[in-house]
């Protein structure tokens, strides 16, 4: 992700653009790092901690290892990249070149294909050291106090990259760790300066597919003579109209074993070759079975099993404006402007974000997409209070409920088989976000090892979110209002026909909301004349949309009031219980909240229960609030579901983690993917979460990781054709006994000068920000 450029971009639409008088964002060198006082001289913050690190410039470079003042080693060289910053384009190039040079033979080197290059995230104590002494705003309190005082190294450990490499000639998958040292040499055209730390072959797996493979697979299928003949039977001779989506094979039997790299494409056909906005998914081609060897790019199996006529061209099929489809475009929408005349309230330094009392770091990986690191809340005299080490969406699964071919095998693992980050959009020209925006670029490797950049991949902006709090005293008629504003960090990706927007919202009252927005185009099936399907909705002549589900897994490495290195969290479940009739409930109206400590991993496999208002609280076992209760953050479920499939469903052997809405584990560095790192063609049952929790590790006081599985059951409507309007699902992390009183008290009261007598509106501000209707 880019760190050098700051982009302040109004929305693309004229109706939503700020006026010309709005002040642009300041360039990066002017962004304050800790307070407005540091805006004119950013070095002031570094100088302000000179008393802590006793930095002196009289030592040669590098300094003697014994150079120190009062037991504190001198820091003489600034660090250029924070340990959690995503890999830069130069670092990715160095990592790829290092691995390629380490190939044993020319054949091995030529066969290397690069699936993923990501940062090896350092241990938490390294991050704490960086935040304490190397990167502003300096936070020495993050490090534990020792009798002799803190010892500060002269520099942080070298950054490392982890590479997933597929060898196209040997069909082997290998993992490499590369230490990145003099990366700057690569940008000057010099030789790579990486160092291979380790490498190993991972047997019996297939890594995620790549866009280059998909394009090559489509070309191979289109050139296959029996396929062309089958399409000719359906009245299609122009192969430019044909769309081949190379879906991963999944695992349904031993024939899908990872000894071969397989794809089972789905076929669609457009009606017009010169219509860029045509919905090609409106004409599925059914009855054709294709199996492709993705290693050698050859068709292994082909069968024209059933001649199903192509659905007729529906005039409503396209997603171009209404007038082009015989409708009428709406013309009664007047301009809506999002204006921040004084610029945004957030501050950005590299990937470090400060807004209101929140601060965190933004990361990005090809698999997960957006990652939020080191989330903390600044709470007055209590200072920086950690909430979470790391937040991200680590997997999503989309199983379909139609038992007919080919829909029964549609159960995509969109993160593990494809990569959410690698499929992300450039938001540069879109109206995905309104107002003043800070964009972040994302860098990743392509299949052949080149570096690609998604410009404006992550969007950071503020949003008005209605009323945060209001109360009116009926005796005096006076009202107090707090308007809610939230900071939103998001990215959007496309996986075949569907779009997914992933959002993290930070609120002024301490809440964090995780939200997924689903939209795009339905994956459809064709019908014989007069046929209907009980497993879907008929949405056009000869066309139906199968029922299906979408599941997402959020991984939350929590740190409620815990410094790095501390493991003082536990999880309790709250259920509302109705009091038994008797002397304690003579009026039969009593109910209460009952707490249960989840003591171990097997005990913490839990499901949502709206009938008991079930939720879970992550508590600090050592910190209390003013009433003596343990401080905590609670996970509040939104709407949710479980898989609507039999226990022996094939996709559940790879997605066993879908069987529960909540899993809790103690932090382990290598436990990142709930279905295992390589779910593609995975023959192993229950790999990942199901295997880890068998250890039944204690959770009574631990470094807690929450795995929340949430989903939606989609029964398509006629109104979902030709496009599916956004559907939102998610959950909330809310303070629970964390603050001594509501942070909403600190939010500035709402006030406004309004005088629009033409429309019957007239109001004026009163003292203390009160608004009264005249």
Instruction: Kindly report, residue by residue over 425-439, the tens digit of the pLDDT.
Output: 999 755 788 889 999
pLDDT reported for residue 253: 92
Q: What percent of the chain has pLDDT over 90?
A: 73
Assess whether pLDDT exceeds 50 at residue 10: no
Buried b (16+ CB within 10 A) or exposed e, 11-26: beeeebbbeeebeebe
Please list the active-site residues. 414, 498
Tokens standing for residue 208 = 């995620």
pLDDT reported for residue 67: 35
pLDDT reported for residue 191: 54
Q: Give SS3 for 186.
A: helix
8 Å CB contact between 422 and 444: yes
Mean pLDDT of 716-736: 95
DSSP string, 268-319: EE-S-TT-TT--GGGSEE-SEEEEEETTTTEEEEEEE----PPPP--TT---
Of 314-323, 339-348, 416-425, 460-469, which range is least confident? 314-323
615-624 and 630-637 beta bridge pairing: antiparallel
Terminal-to-terminal C-alpha distance of the chain: 52
pLDDT reported for residue 52: 31
Q: Give SS3 for 604.
A: coil
Rg (CA), the chain: 28
Q: Which residue has the higher pLDDT, 103 or 51?
A: 103
8 Å CB contact between 127 and 136: no
pLDDT reported for residue 87: 96
pLDDT reported for residue 183: 59
Assess whether pLDDT exceeds 50 at residue 764: no
Contacts (Cβ under 8 Å, ≥6 apart) of 555: 390, 391, 392, 393, 394, 672, 674, 705, 706, 707
How far is residue 91's CA from residue 289's CA, in Å, rounded to a whole number? 43
Assess whether pLDDT exceeds 80 at residue 712: yes
Tokens standing for residue 616 = 């879970």
Assess whether pLDDT exceeds 90 at residue 46: no
Assess whether pLDDT exceeds 90 at residue 549: yes
Of 34-38, 255-259, 262-266, 689-693, which range is least confident? 34-38
Assess whether pLDDT exceeds 80 at residue 457: yes
Of 171-175, 375-379, 561-565, which range is least confident? 561-565
Banded model confidence at residue 73, pLDDT cuts 50, 70, 90: very low
Residue 707 CA: distances (Å) to CA of 7, 399, 523, 615: 34, 20, 28, 14
Mean pLDDT of the chain: 86
pLDDT reported for residue 690: 95
Assess whether pLDDT exceeds 80 at residue 68: no
pLDDT reported for residue 523: 94
Assess whether pLDDT exceeds 60 at residue 770: no
How far is residue 590's CA from residue 573's CA, in Å, rounded to a whole number? 20
Q: Note the pLDDT tens digit of each residue in 517-547.
A: 999 999 999 998 888 999 999 999 999 999 9
Q: Which residue has the higher pLDDT, 728 or 37?
A: 728
pLDDT reported for residue 333: 86
Buried b (16+ CB within 10 A) or exposed e, 305-326: eeebebbeebeebbeeeeeeee
Q: Which of 247, 291, 251, 250 is nearest to 268 (CA)?
A: 247
Tokens standing for residue 680 = 């593609």
How far is residue 1's CA from residue 184's CA, in Å, rounded to a whole number? 16
Contacts (Cβ under 8 Å, ≥6 apart) of 707: 553, 554, 555, 556, 657, 662, 663, 664, 665, 674, 689
Mean pLDDT of 202-210: 96
Work out the number of other CB atoms within 10 angstroms of the CB of residue 1: 23
pLDDT reported for residue 359: 97
8 Å CB contact between 437 and 460: yes
Mean pLDDT of 621-650: 96
Q: Which residue has the higher pLDDT, 761 or 390?
A: 390
pLDDT reported for residue 324: 61
8 Å CB contact between 654 and 679: yes
Contacts (Cβ under 8 Å, ≥6 apart) of 558: 387, 388, 389, 569, 618, 633, 704, 705, 706
Q: What is the dihedral of CA 667, 572, 609, 590, to 10 degrees?
A: -170
Of 73-77, 152-156, 327-331, 355-359, which range is least confident? 73-77
Assess whether pLDDT exceeds 90 at residue 48: no
Assess whether pLDDT exceeds 90 at residue 14: no
Mean pLDDT of 31-35: 34
Mean pLDDT of 540-559: 96
Mean pLDDT of 706-723: 95
Could you tell me if residue 295 is left (phi over 0), alpha (psi between -120 and 50 degrees) or otherwise beta? alpha
Tokens standing for residue 316 = 């409503």
Banded model confidence at residue 763, pLDDT cuts 50, 70, 90: very low
State the helix-helix crossing angle for 225-233 and 211-222, rounded to 10 degrees.
Answer: 70
Assess whether pLDDT exceeds 50 at residue 146: yes
Q: Tokens 């536990």 correspond to what residue?
A: 570
pLDDT reported for residue 745: 87
Banded model confidence at residue 414, pLDDT cuts 50, 70, 90: very high
Residues linked to residue 331 through DSSP beta bridges, in sequence order: none
Q: Which residue has the higher pLDDT, 30 or 288?
A: 288
Assess whether pLDDT exceeds 50 at residue 316: yes
Q: Note the pLDDT tens digit of each residue in 573-602.
A: 999 999 999 999 999 999 999 999 999 999
Out of 424-428, 531-535, 657-661, 746-750, the most confident range is: 657-661
Buried b (16+ CB within 10 A) or exposed e, 687-721: bbbbebbeeeeebebbbbbbbbbbbbebebeeebb
pLDDT reported for residue 329: 76
Mean pLDDT of 681-692: 93
Tokens standing for residue 452 = 């690609």
Assess whether pLDDT exceeds 50 at residue 28: no
Assess whether pLDDT exceeds 70 at residue 129: yes
Out of 304-318, 623-637, 744-758, the most confident range is: 623-637
pLDDT reported for residue 768: 39
Mean pLDDT of 34-46: 35
Backbone angles phi, psi at 440, to 5 degrees: -125, 135
Q: Tokens 């470090």 correspond to what residue?
A: 352
Of 15-19, 218-222, 633-637, which range is least confident? 15-19
Banded model confidence at residue 326, pLDDT cuts 50, 70, 90: low
Q: What percent of the chain has pLDDT over 70?
A: 83
Assess whether pLDDT exceeds 60 at residue 720: yes
How far is residue 397's CA from residue 758's CA, in Å, rounded to a whole number? 54
Tokens standing for residue 480 = 């107090």
Backbone angles phi, psi at 595, to 5 degrees: -100, 145
pLDDT reported for residue 192: 59
DSSP string, 21-50: TSPPPPPGGG--SS-GGGSS-THHHHHHTH
Tokens standing for residue 323 = 């007038």
Mean pLDDT of 371-382: 95
Work out the number of other CB atoms within 10 angstroms of the CB of residue 417: 25
């Amino acid at each position: 992700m880019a760190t050098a450029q700051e982009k302040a971009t109004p929305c693309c639409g004229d109706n939503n653009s700020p006026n010309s008088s709005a002040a642009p964002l300041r360039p990066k060198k002017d962004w304050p790092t800790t307070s407005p006082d540091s805006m004119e001289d950013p070095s002031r913050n570094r100088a302000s901690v000179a008393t802590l690190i006793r930095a002196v410039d009289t030592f040669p470079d590098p300094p003697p290892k014994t150079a120190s003042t009062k037991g504190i080693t001198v820091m003489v060289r600034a660090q250029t990249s924070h340990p959690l910053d995503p890999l830069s384009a130069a670092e990715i190039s160095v990592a790829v070149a290092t691995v390629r040079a380490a190939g044993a033979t020319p054949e091995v080197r030529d066969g290397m294909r690069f699936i993923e290059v990501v940062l090896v995230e350092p241990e938490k104590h390294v991050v704490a050291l960086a935040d304490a002494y190397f990167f502003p705003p300096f936070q020495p309190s993050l490090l534990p106090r020792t009798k002799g005082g803190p010892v500060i190294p002269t520099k942080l450990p070298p950054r490392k990259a982890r590479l997933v490499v597929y060898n196209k000639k040997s069909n082997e998958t290998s993992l490499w760790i590369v230490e990145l040292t003099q990366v700057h040499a690569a940008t000057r055209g010099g030789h790579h300066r990486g160092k291979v730390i380790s490498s190993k072959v991972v047997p019996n797996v297939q890594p995620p597919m790549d866009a280059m493979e998909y394009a090559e697979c489509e070309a191979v299928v289109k050139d296959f003579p029996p396929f062309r003949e089958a399409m000719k039977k359906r009245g299609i001779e122009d192969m430019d109209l044909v769309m081949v989506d190379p879906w991963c094979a999944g695992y349904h039997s031993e024939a899908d074993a990872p000894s071969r790299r397989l794809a089972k494409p789905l076929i669609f056909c457009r009606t017009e070759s010169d219509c860029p906005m045509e919905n090609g998914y409106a004409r599925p081609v059914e009855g054709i079975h294709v199996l492709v060897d993705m290693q050698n790019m050859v068709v292994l199996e082909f069968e024209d099993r059933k001649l199903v006529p192509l659905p007729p061209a529906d005039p409503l099929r396209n997603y171009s404006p209404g007038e082009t489809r015989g409708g009428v475009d709406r013309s009664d929408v007047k301009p809506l402007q999002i204006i921040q005349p004084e610029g945004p309230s957030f501050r950005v330094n590299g990937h470090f974000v400060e807004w209101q009392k929140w601060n965190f770091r933004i990361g990005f990986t090809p698999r997960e997409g957006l990652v939020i690191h080191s989330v903390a809340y600044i709470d007055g005299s209590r200072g920086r209070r950690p909430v979470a080490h790391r937040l991200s969406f680590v997997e999503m699964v989309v199983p379909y409920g139609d038992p007919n071919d080919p829909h029964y095998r549609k159960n995509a693992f969109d993160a593990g088989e494809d990569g959410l980050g690698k499929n992300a959009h450039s938001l540069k020209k879109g109206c995905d976000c309104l107002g003043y925006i800070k964009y972040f670029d994302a860098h990743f490797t392509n299949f052949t090892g080149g570096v690609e950049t998604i410009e404006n991949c992550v969007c950071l902006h503020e949003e008005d979110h209605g009323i945060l709090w209001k109360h009116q005293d009926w005796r005096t008629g006076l009202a107090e209002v707090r308007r809610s504003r939230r900071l939103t960090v998001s990215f959007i990706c496309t996986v075949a026909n569907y779009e997914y927007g992933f959002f993290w919202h930070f609120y002024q009252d301490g809440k964090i909301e995780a939200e997924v927005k689903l939209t795009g185009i339905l994956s459809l099936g064709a019908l014989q004349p007069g046929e209907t399907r009980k497993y879907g909705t008929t949405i056009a002549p000869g066309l139906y949309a199968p029922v299906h589900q979408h599941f997402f897994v959020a991984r939350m490495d929590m740190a409620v009031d815990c410094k790095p290195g501390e493991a003082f969290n536990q999880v309790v479940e709250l259920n509302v219980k109705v009091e038994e009739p008797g002397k304690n409930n003579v009026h039969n109206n009593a109910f209460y909240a009952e707490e249960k400590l989840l003591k171990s991993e097997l005990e913490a496999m839990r499901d949502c229960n709206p009938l008991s208002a079930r939720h879970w609280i992550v508590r600090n076992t050592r910190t209390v609030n003013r009433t003596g209760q343990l401080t905590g953050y609670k996970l509040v479920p939104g709407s949710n579901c479980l898989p609507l499939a039999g226990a022996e469903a094939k996709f559940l052997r790879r997605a066993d983690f879908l069987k529960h809405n909540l899993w809790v584990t103690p932090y382990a560095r290598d436990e990142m993917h709930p279905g295992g790192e390589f779910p593609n063609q995975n023959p192993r049952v229950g790999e990942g979460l199901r295997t880890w929790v068998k250890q039944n590790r204690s959770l009574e006081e631990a470094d807690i990781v929450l795995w929340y599985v949430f989903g939606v059951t989609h029964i398509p409507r006629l109104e979902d054709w030709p496009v599916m309007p956004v559907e939102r699902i998610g959950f909330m992390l809310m303070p629970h006994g964390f603050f001594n009183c509501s942070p909403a008290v600190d939010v500035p009261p709402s006030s406004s000068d309004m005088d629009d007598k033409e429309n019957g509106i007239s109001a004026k501000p009163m003292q203390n920000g009160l608004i009264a209707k005249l």
